[in-house]
Structure 1
Amino acid sequence: MARRAWPMVEEIDFSTLLAEVSEDELVASLCRDSFYQFFLEFWETIEAVELVPNWHIRYLCDQLQEVYTIWEAKQAQPDVLINVPPGTSKSTTVTQLFPAWLWLKRPSIRILSSSFAAPLAISHAVKTRLCLKSAKFARLFPGHLEFQDDQDGKTDYRNTALGQRYTTSTGTGGAMGNHADFIILDDPLNPQAAVSEAGQAAASAHLKTLATRKTDKARTVTILVMQRVHEKDPAGEWLASGRPLRHICLPGELTKDATTGEVGAQVRPLELRARYVDGLLDPQRLSRVALQGLQLTLGSYGYAGQVQQLTAPDEGGLLKKAWFRTISYEAFLALAGRVGATWLFDADTAYTENQKNDPSALLASCYLGQTLYVRYAGEMWLELPELKKRLFELVTLHGYTRSSKLHVEPKASGKSVVQELRSITQLNVVEAPTPTGSKLERVNSVSPFIEAGRVVLLDGSWNEPFISQCASFPNAAHDDMLDCLCQAIARYNLKPRSRSSPSSLVTIGGR
């Protein structure tokens, strides 16, 4: 068989070729092949403002197209977590135009979408339908899609290929009875409800419900797009679980971590830091001036979570990271050698092995002059028998003496701890006073003491998690070590203490 002789490039009459392919056909072909091209073309069908392109939009579009390609190949893949600031077209990209492109690729796809509020979730779904019913879509893709007349509502619409877009919201059970090939969660937790345990619980329960709505457990993809608002928000739950994820995290600007010194440490994938322009994600939408305005509008916590994708301001919230000084153990010994030092202990007991619950915590400290030196702080998830053993081991390890006392707060597990430790050890156990006021009030009361540099940490691997928990309050997943610190400071400040006669106390405070 003779080999076909292909014409040289210079022999092709491109004007004739282009004449044979209409502009609409060319655009339609590009839109089918590229979600980003579809995004550029169909932005105008749902948005009245002019599109301002930026590299992150193309990156998101390409990542979502890759997710579809893997799904189309019937392969398993991890869920997708996207953390990006407001005002960067995240919802337009992920929740409004991506579902429209999915139906362009395969009209039979079933999509389930949700947001923290029903009106917001419905608005996203309506914009997708607006795109699909636009004159432009009909012109570029004639006869491709036809809606079912009796299934064409705002919260549930279907096409004649049996594709479906169903909409629900956090706190509703409307997803029951529906299954999906793609599940899209756009801001499932209201930022104003983030510090509320009820709000966190509702969002967590909603995610678990939707996880049962997958058409194919291995193949169906859940896409969670949100700003970080709390360590226990849905994104935090996913990250803490250790599950495989396609994680995209794009803070509004690159900043230096106050603890490690790393620039843009929260960016995922890390190589995307090279695409920032002068440290900015999007110099047009989120210029320096725009970011300053957001800081004033959102406040330090709101800016940290919604713009920087940090659950608390990097420098700290109510308690700043810079307020905690550190010294070496040798330097401490040089200080203590003049007067001697007795290590003191505070613990917050809550016996359980379930790491979703609050842990028990222990803090070892001593008071020299007007300064509190902390030797150790840590957490543990243990049932009562193991907790008793571990507490005794840690107290002994960190300098407990016969003249010390254990002060146990007599609530929650406290009374059991008092009784058990009295029966199995020679520790002098007494009940501690029940703390007064809310946790926020207690932290505010010790804040001046810490800000004055009166809490000094001895170098140790525990320093970073301890400082991080203190600086993240009240958005930290747990605050038990901070509880111990507050209890220690409150006790030390009950009355003046001489430099030459520090107290000898071991305090275990329950819940």
Structure 2
Amino acid sequence: MELLPLDTVIAAQCYQRFYWFFLEMWETIEAVELVPNWHIEYLCDEMQAVYERWKRGEAQGDVLVNIPPGTSKSTTITQLFPAWLWLMEPSMRIISTSFASDVSIGHGLKSRDCLSHPKFQRLFPGRIEFKADQNGKTNYRNTAGGQRFITSSGARVTGVHADFIVIDDPTNPEKAENEKHRKQSAKHVQTVSSRKTDKKRTVSIMVMQRVHELDPAGAWLKKKKNLRHICLPGELTPDSKTGELGKNVRPAELVARYTNGLLDAGRLDRGALATLKEDLGSYGYAGQILQMPAPDEGGILKKAWFKTITFAEFLKLPEAGAAVWHLDYDGAYTDNQKNDPSAVLITAYVGQTLYVRYAGEYWEEFNELVKLLPKLAETHGCGRQSKLHIEPKANGKDIVSWLRKNSQLNIVEAPPPSGDKTQRVQAASPFIEAQRVVLIDGSWNEAFINQCAAFPTAAHDDMLDTLTQAISRNQSKKKFSYA
């Protein structure tokens, strides 16, 4: 049997499987030696499956990959995968983007370096030829009609459509707490993802580490029903509630492929992870390495600091008879659930402990809120001595005025809070850490605790606002008048 030339065999393997292409082309764009790991092969095969469904004309959902930095995620998905797509389909149009233009351009240039490298040209002679008059850093084309358009958050994408869209780290981790930056990133991702040549076939692939509950990954997870989600934390950690290891790994069967609880023992061993934990802090480590927007056990406020008792157990306490339940309200303007909700907290401060009887969030307009607040006060034990503390922001002043005229409730216009949210939470944390906030058992407990523990990367912090308001009031000697 005649033996084929080695280059012919290698080229055939590269056409057959993206992973073989990745292994061969690594050296064309990276100076360091490749340290293979199972997750790279897995991601390559997943990307190839997406392409093959596209090739067959099948409808498919977008793809979200959450994985730590330093695991060759960009080399695999943003640099070499687009190069392989051009190998398979030279006429392919591709858009790629990241949070910064220099990062996006760097990814695009790496792809071009691969395609123009002597090794690629030797293995695939004449397959890809760049158009000399359209070979820029942010927009280059080949002679078969293929295009790679490179953009970044805040930049334009009008007039361009693509067969594949690759979104790599659309949010800067260092600016994750900046609401303006998050909104800009989210808007850019939404705009880029709409630039599809075929709404049925074209796929958006987003690869990023988690940095906030409202980051683009969080938005996709919340709204996309047909989303292929791959989540690979740097290490397996026990769930704070169930103790289950790797509960956030997706697909779940990939937990079995971790080695001693590590995703990639070659790149991210225990020593490297310990250093990252020191450098990134608890929130940065939780998001960028564990792929959770906040530490599972909590950040500034720990989940373990909140104790729960039943209402029957509360009534057996010696001080229960002295309890007076008060309501705290943190207002918002709208019934639009994309915006912050209004929050209600009902508490009694007895025996140096703040008992929380109820906490809830509501997306309601003014007419509904003024009906809701008296009803909640009555349902949860507020009586003649109880006060409704309402912060005079958003619709707060109007609600104070309306309730004073139209109800018998004791309405207190709470003073504006001092300091920013983080300062207020930090001021309240010693009180909470001393386990002096006790929750009355209810279906609202988990949502309340999760919001407190996720601060400052939680989607909303309105219930926490009411808690810090109640703690501050009960710890202060200042008296407030009411009418």
Whether TM-score is above 0.5 comes out as yes
- Structure 1, residues 137-185: CA drift from partner, whole Å, max 9, x if none? 1111112111111111111110111000010111112x11111111111
Segment of structure 1 superposing worse, 463-472 or 381-390: 381-390
SS at match of 1:257: coil
Give distance in 1, aligned partners of 2:298 and 2:385: 37
Q: Which residue of 2 aligns with 1:110?
A: 93
| Residue identity in the other structure for 1:215 | T
Query: Aligned partners of 2:477, 2:31: CA distance in 1, in Å?
Result: 66
Aligned amino acid, residue 437 of structure 1: G
Partner SS for 1:251: coil
Give the counterpart of 2:322 among 294, 317, 340. Answer: 340
Cα RMSD of the aligned pairs, angstroms, is 1.7
The secondary structure found in structure 2 opposite 1:217 is: coil
Amino acid at match of 2:375: E
Cα shift at 1:377: 1.1
Counterpart in 1 of 2:14?
A: 31
1:99 aligned onto 2:82: yes
Q: Does 1:204 align with 2:171?
A: no
For structure 1, the 5+ residue unaligned runs are 1-15, 497-502
Distance (whole Å) between structure 1 residues aligned to residue 92 and residue 434 of structure 2 = 60
User: Residue 65 of structure 1 corresponds to which residue in structure 2?
Assistant: 48
> Conserved in 2, the CA contact under 8 Å of 1:346 and 1:506?
no
Query: How far is the alpha carbon of 1:218 from its aligned partner?
Result: 2.2
Cα distance in structure 2, aligned partners of 1:70 and 1:242 = 19
Runs of 4+ in 1 over 4 A off after TM superposition: none
Q: Distance in 2 between matches of 1:465 and 1:309?
A: 20
Deviation of residue 339 (structure 1)?
A: 3.7
> Which of the two has higher C-alpha Rg?
1
- 1:310-359 deviations in Å (ceiling 9; x for gaps): 11122211111111112222221111566432222212111422111000
- Counterpart of 1:304 in structure 2 is 286
CA 1:390–1:263 in 2, change beyond 3 Å: closer, same or farther?
Answer: farther
Deviation per residue, 1:368-405 (Å, 9 max, x gap): 21111112111111111222222222221100112222
Q: How much has 1:28 moved relative to structure 2?
A: 1.0
> What aligned pairs does 1:374-393 form with structure 2 within 5 A after superposition?
374-393=356-375
For residues 506 and 270 of structure 1, do their structure 2 counterparts lie closer, same or farther at Cα, with a shift above 3 Å needed?
A: farther
1:353-502 equivalences in 2 (<5 Å): 353-495=335-477
Question: In 2, distance between residues paired with 1:506 and 1:353?
Answer: 31
Q: Select which of 74, 78, 91 maps to 2:61.
A: 78
Q: Which residue of 2 aligns with 1:168?
A: 151
Q: Which amino acid aligns with 2:190?
A: K
Aligned-partner Cα distance in 2 for 1:293–1:419: 55
> 2:345 & 2:372 partners in 1: Cα distance?
13
User: In the alignment, does 2:292 pair up with 1:319?
Assistant: no
- Residue 73 (structure 2) aligned to one of 90, 97, 109: 90
What is the CA deviation profile of residues 90-127 of structure 1, one whole-angstrom value per residue up to 9, with x for unaligned ones? 00000000000000110001000011111111110011
* SS of aligned partner of 2:361: strand
The structural deviation recorded for 1:40 is 0.8
| 2:29 aligned residue (46, 68, 87) | 46
- Determine the C-alpha separation between the residues in 1 that align with 2:389 and 2:444: 23
* Amino acid aligned to 1:60: L
Change (3 A) 1:478 1:416: same
Over 3 Å counting, the alpha-carbon distance change for 1:145 and 1:362 in structure 2 is same
State whether residues 331 and 391 of structure 2, in contact with CA within 8 Å, keep that contact through their aligned partners in structure 1.
no
Rounded to whole Å, the distance in 2 between the matches of 1:93 and 1:416 is: 55
Count of residues in Structure 1 that have an aligned counterpart in Structure 2: 482
Asked if the contact 1:227/1:305 (under 8 Å) is kept, the reply is yes
Instruction: List per-residue Cα deviations over 1:217-242 (Å, max 9, x = no partner).
Output: 22211111110001111111111224
CA distance in 1, matches of 2:435, 2:319: 21
Task: Judge which range, 103-112 or 253-262, deviates more.
Answer: 253-262
Q: Are 1:139 and 2:122 matched, yes or no?
A: yes
Alignment partners' CA distance in 1, 2:185 and 2:244? 32
The residue identity in structure 2 corresponding to 1:346 is D
Select which of 99, 105, 124 maps to 1:122: 105
Give 1:506 shift: 13
Identity %: 61
Give the Cα–Cα distance (whole angstroms) in 1 for the partners of residues 109 and 438 of structure 2.
Answer: 56
Q: Which amino acid aligns with 1:309?
A: Q
Q: TM-score when scaled to structure 2?
A: 0.97
Q: Given residue 209 of structure 1, which amino acid in structure 2 is its aligned partner?
A: T
Question: In 1, distance between residues paired with 2:433 and 2:330?
Answer: 23
Q: Following the alignment from structure 1 to structure 2, what is the Cα–Cα distance between the partners of residues 459 and 287? A: 41
- Structure 2: gaps spanning 5 or more residues: none
The alpha-carbon distance between structure 1 residues 399 and 210, as it changes in their structure 2 partners (threshold 3 A), is same
